[in-house]
A and B are shown apart, each in its own frame.
Chain A
Amino acid sequence: MRYESQRIAWWFFATSMLLLCLQIVYGFIMGFAHMGYDVLHDVIPFHVARATHTNLLVVWLLCGFMGSAYYIVPEEVGRELYSVRLAKWQLGTLVFVGVVALVGFHFQWWEGRKFLEIPRPLDWLVVVNVLAFLWNLTMTMWKSPRMTTTSCVLYFGLLMAALLYLPGMIPTDNQTVDSYWRWWVVHLWVEGVWELIMGGILAYLLIKLTGVDREVIEKWLYVIVGLTFLSGILGTGHHYYYIGAPRYWLMIGGIFSALEPLAFLGMAIYAIAMARRGGRSHPNRNALAWTIGCSIMSFVGAGFLGFAHTLPQVNLYTHGTLVTAMHGHMAFWGAYAMLVFAIIAYALPQLTGRKLYDTPLAAFAFWTSNIGMVAMTLAFAVAGVAQVYLERRMGLDFLAVQEEIEVHFLGLVLAAALFAVGIGAYVLQFWRYGLPVGEVERAAVTGDAEGPAPDAAAAEAGA
């Protein structure tokens, strides 16, 4: 940690972990409901559990991204945050809005549009909150002596994420138009601008962890985010096949979304290549494991499993089945959850001044959660393929099919238990690190050769 104000990141990360635990609880509620044990129906019916599960996911990821930005940007641009007070206030209000929204869901106060369930008045509060966050970053970067590509890509990703929230609020009475704009938020987030955030954070981590020359890492960063937008923007069409939009989307969406895995493949090759190329090894192997793991699992979950159902001929049958849930879990986990885990694994030793990274607990958390998630994905996959086959191809009744596949949800819940143990270990590790009392250091603590004038230092490190 080189700047006092980076400490604020810890509070965002802690909030993130807390919300993640809550998200998992709601996941289990739905898993049991699918198994036939909808015991909480009168208190927390399925649609309440679902809205809570997915919104918690989005909020904890955003919290993690904000924490990452507050941690990374000061170091990248070489000055303290513009205002730590604003950052604190912003976290407080974000948590407040989040809690109101989640409690509101339990009283069925919502908009009922998947992933954008938060009611309109709260939407505006979220916008104001994110504007405050962006203002803080903008002023930090504006007043700083230098810009780096990494910080710019991260900043641009966050800015676009905020702007793309707005189309989701365009009022309309037509279900198709409603859905059309909803995808501007949902798709252009996860398969567009969030990938910039991902690219920026990964680049930062790779620079720190592998010691490869910044110029090289940032050059490839441009190529990857270029590929992302080249395929991802028109790839939005893969959600427009069957919602009442023109037929040409079958062609456009099919072709461009089929190219989307390239960006994820690029990300994986890039991370692995840089790690190999790195001259010196950073002692925090655990953070490197999460970083490389993120790039690989995002390719599997988003790239490979996304491709599996993105062609219109396949999507005609899999559209809106558990196959989508399979892909959703692995993609969010690989690309974004692991990303937040990676930056936390890297930042905690600096923030708290303790070096717990090569403890057995850290390795256990990594392997258990990943194996658990792969098993969950398999359970969803079997259930989803069976559903597609029986319901969509043989024409059996929906509920009859659901009864057939109940047993796979037993598999899901068991896999999820393993996953939850892994997450528990990670959170325990987080707890053990304790509060952010680490000292602000000018020199390298962890073999990190980048001094206060990063450009010169980076060149030296690359040599």
Chain B
Amino acid sequence: MLSKTAAKRFFVVGTALCFGAFFLLTLDTLARIPAQTNQETMTDAVVRGKHLWDTSNCMGCHTLLGEGAYYAPELTKAYSRRGPDFIAAMLRDPEAMYPGQRRMQNYDFDEGQIEDLVAFLEWVGRMDLNGFPAEPDLGEVSVPVTSTDSSVARRSDRPQVFNQMCIACHALGGQGGAVGPALDGVGGRLDADYIKRWLTDPFAIKPNSLMPKLPLSDATIVELVAFLSQLKD
């Protein structure tokens, strides 16, 4: 039968070995992290952004690298998902981008701070995360196979800005936000000129609209109008 001294030896030796191994792995990991996280591209703006990230406790609502709170969207890929303009608009006034939704703190950041935070999120988004976040693997299956008709544009055929900004509030083909109406068949409902004026300034058409005036260049608007107009039922 196991004696108390043997049990004690098991504890002491086991702990020492494991801690030793953990210590060495830590040294190795710390040596490799700079390459894996592109530390050479960590500019001053990124560092300031990280500091703002911490002192603002964004992690108290959001997750980043999957760590944090489960109240607000995961932000690791926010930069590629929404793009810098959307994020900046969000930080200037969260209410504008997501009216009537779950509320984010309004921080009254100045433009410099917003740039720093955007730079930070951009840097985080480029890390090699061993495959996180995973591509949704059931997504394609859920889209009905019958949707071969050209009216439902595939995700990859859409203008980038559409997938980044508009999808936050509008659904298309069953995916996207629910703040504004779904845009399926919008080209049949609205003419190109109206869409153009709408995108340029929603408030000019409907003063109490919930859709914000988005930071879109003229070229982007042309691209979007062309895309939306061909969405017919």
Residue A447 lies at the interface, judged by CB distance under 8 Å to chain B = no
A:201-237 near B, CB below 8 Å: 215, 218-220, 222-223, 225-226, 229-230, 233-234, 236
- Check B131 for interface membership: any CB of A closer than 8 A: yes
Q: Which residues of chain B in 82-130 are interfacial with respect to chain A, using CB atoms and an 8 Å cutoff? A: 98, 101-103, 105, 124, 127-130
| A408 located at the interface, meaning its Cβ lies under 8 Å from any Cβ of chain B in the complex | no
Residues from chain B with a CB closer than 8 A to the CB of A46 are 60-61, 69, 71-72
Interface segment among A66-74, A107-115, A131-139: the answer is A107-115
B10 touches A226 (CB 8 A): yes
Contact B61 A223 (CB under 8 A): no
- B14's partner among A215, A229, A395, A398 (CB-CB below 8 A) is A229
CA A111 to CA B151, docked complex, whole Å: 49
Which of A316-324, A424-432, A450-458 contacts the other chain? A316-324
Contact of B36 among A117, A246, A324 (CB under 8 A): A246
A359 within 8 A of B: no
* B64 contacts the other chain (CB 8 A): yes
A50 touches B (CB below 8 Å): yes
Chain B interface residue count, Cβ-Cβ cutoff 8 angstroms: 74
Can you name the residue of chain A whose Cβ is closest to the Cβ of B142? A394
- With known contacts A222-B10, A243-B65, A397-B176, A113–B134 Cβ distance under 8 A: no
Residue A177 at the chain B interface, CB threshold 8 Å: yes
Q: Is the CB of A234 within 8 A of B33?
A: no
Closest to B26 in A: A180
Determine if B53 is an interface residue (Cβ-Cβ < 8 Å). yes
Query: Which of chain B's residues has its CB closest to A324's CB?
Result: B70
Q: A241-B130, A244-B37 are in contact. Are A222 and B11 (CB under 8 A)?
A: yes
The interface centre, meaning the residue of A50, A51, A245 with most chain B CB atoms within 10 A of its CB, is A245
Query: What is the 8 Å Cβ interface bit string for chain B, positions 34-76, against chain A (1 contact, 0 not)?
Result: 1011010010000100100111111111011111111111100
Taken together as a complex, chains A and B put the C-alpha atoms of A226 and B17 apart, in Å, by 11
Distance (Å) between the CB of B81 and the closest chain A CB? 10
> Which residues of B lie under 8 Å from residue A30 when comparing CB positions?
71
Q: Which of B120-171 contact A (CB under 8 A)?
A: 124, 127-139, 142, 167-168
A342 to B45: give the CA distance in the assembly, Å. Answer: 51
The interface-forming segment of B1-9, B209-217, B221-229 is B1-9
Q: Which residues of chain A are near B69, meaning CB under 8 Å?
A: 46-47, 50, 114
Please, which residue of chain B has its CB at the minimum distance from the CB of A229?
B15
Q: Is A402 an interface residue (CB 8 A)?
A: yes
Of the residues A180, A246, A319, contact of B132 by C-beta under 8 Å: A319
Chain A interface residue count, CB cutoff 8 Å, equals 75
Known contacts A50-B60, A222-B7, A393-B138; A230 and B14 CB within 8 A of each other: yes
Report the bound CA distance from A112 to B49 in whole Å: 13
> Residues of A contacting B220 with CB < 8 Å?
none
Distance in angstroms between the alpha carbons of A249 and B131 in the assembled complex: 13
| B178 interfacial contact with A, CB 8 Å | yes
Q: How far is the CA of A229 from the CA of B71 in the complex (A)?
A: 33
Residues of A within 8 A of B219 (CB): none
A320–B11 alpha-carbon span in the complex (Å):
33
B206 lies within 8 A of chain A by Cβ? no
Tell whether B19 is near chain A: CB-to-CB under 8 Å.
yes
- Alpha-carbon separation in the docked complex, A113 to B58 (Å): 9
Which residues of the other chain, B, contact A435 by a CB distance below 8 angstroms? none
Stretch from A9-17, A33-41, A371-379 contacting the other chain: A33-41
Contact indicator A226/B21 (Cβ below 8 Å): no
How far in angstroms is the closest Cβ of chain B from A441?
30
Is A399 in contact with chain B by the CB < 8 A criterion?
Answer: yes
Question: Given contacts A48-B60, A117-B57, A320-B68, are A234 and B21 in contact (CB under 8 A)?
Answer: yes
Determine the residue in chain A with the shortest Cβ distance to B33.
A176
Cα(A249)–Cα(B105), bound, Å: 35
Select the residue from B63, B136, B137 with max chain A CB neighbours within 10 A: B136
Q: Give Cα A322 to B53, complex, Å.
A: 22
A117 to B176, CA, bound (A): 34
Residues of chain A lying within 8 A (CB to CB) of residue B101: 399
| C-alpha gap A220/B2 in the complex (Å) | 9
A250 close to B (CB within 8 Å): yes
- The listed residue (B29, B127, B132, B175) touching A241 by CB distance below 8 A is B132
Q: How far is the CA of A399 from the CA of B127 in the complex (A)?
A: 25
Q: Are B136 and A395 in contact (CB under 8 A)?
A: yes
Query: Contact mask A346-359 → B, CB, 8 Å, 1/0?
Result: 00000000000000
A320 proximity list for chain B (CB < 8 A): 63, 65-68, 70, 74
Q: Which residues of chain A from 76 to 121 have any CB-CB distance to chain B below 8 Å in the complex? A: 108, 110-114, 117
Other A-B pairs beyond A236-B22, A322-B70, 14, CB < 8 Å = A45-B105, A46-B72, A112-B58, A222-B4, A229-B14, A229-B15, A234-B18, A234-B21, A242-B129, A243-B129, A316-B132, A398-B73, A399-B102, A402-B102
A residues touching B (Cβ–Cβ < 8 Å)? 30, 33-34, 36, 38, 41, 45-48, 50-51, 108, 110-114, 117, 149, 173-180, 215, 218-220, 222-223, 225-226, 229-230, 233-234, 236, 240-250, 252, 316-317, 319-322, 324-325, 387, 389, 391-400, 402-403
